[in-house]
Amino acid sequence: MPTADPADTEGPAAPQLPPDLAAQELPGRPGDPSDLDRRLASALERAGHALRTLIWTQATAHGLSPIQVQLLLRLGVEPPERRRVGTLAAEFDLSAATVSEALSALRRKGLVEKQPVAGDKRGHVMAPTEAGLAAAAALAHWPDPVTTHLATLPTEDKGGALRLILDLVGHLADTGVLSVARTCTTCRFFRRDEHDDSRRPHHCALLDAPIGDPDLRVDCAEHQPAQVP
């Protein structure tokens, strides 16, 4: 695994993770419907804090920064057209300069490389090297403490939670908080509650098949944005 790059450690100490805002729940009054919404927001923030901590821990152990870990994992699964700096910046809601700097650090570590684009002499995409793929395989286990627990929960409960979160992601994308959302619930092929079957109430027009909440995709390669009313 790579060692820390001197360029990553020079200068001021790495910033600490944001404080857990959920430790002090957003104010609300019991019995007020909005109080549940605030507690849900606080719970999501606390879960997000835990996930950020898991990524930070793995990144530090392998001499990488969290964004370097996320980029390395993403490059291992994305098609070439989504491995350009500008596209990656949009995916992570970061500036192109920030992503370019992180990719340069990964190149110095021998984990990613530039690849030419056919028919475009000046264009290139980023791709993991063999060492990068090996590192990504090791880093891919970062969410194990979460997925191990989730594996013990009922599928129906997880499906309902997945639908709720994807609906929230879709709303955040519609309102400009997120730049990219390739979820089922934001896709023009998605037909919500089209079937009477409670296990598979939705319909995917692309597959021409009924789907249930547990089948919903977070990042679908065939996604096409739905028309916003």
Q: What is the pLDDT of residue 27?
A: 55
**Residue 153, token pair as written in the block:** 């929960």
Confidence of residue 142 (pLDDT cuts 50, 70, 90): very high
Judged against a pLDDT cut of 80, whether residue 4 lies above it is answered with no
Q: What is the pLDDT of residue 113?
A: 95
For 72-121, write each residue's pLDDT tens digit: 999 988 888 889 999 999 989 999 999 999 999 999 999 999 998 776 76
Please give the angle made by the CA atoms of 224, 225 and 228, to the nearest 5 degrees.
Answer: 155
More confident residue, 221 or 71: 71
Q: What is the pLDDT of residue 9?
A: 42
Q: What is the pLDDT of residue 122?
A: 67
More confident residue, 60 or 12: 60
Nearest to 186 by CA among 175, 208, 171: 171
Lowest mean pLDDT among 66-75, 77-86, 125-134, 154-163: 77-86
Alpha-carbon span 220 to 7, nearest angstrom: 36
For 171-187, write each residue's pLDDT tens digit: 999 999 988 899 999 99
User: Cα 15 to the chain's mean position, in Å?
Assistant: 21
**Residue 80, token pair as written in the block:** 């070439």
Judged against a pLDDT cut of 50, whether residue 21 lies above it is answered with no
Alpha-carbon span 162 to 164, nearest angstrom: 5
For 45-55, write each residue's pLDDT tens digit: 999 999 999 99
Residues in the chain: 229
Q: What is the pLDDT of residue 180?
A: 86
| HSE-up of residue 94 (Cα within 13 Å, Cβ side) | 17
Q: What is the pLDDT of residue 25?
A: 52
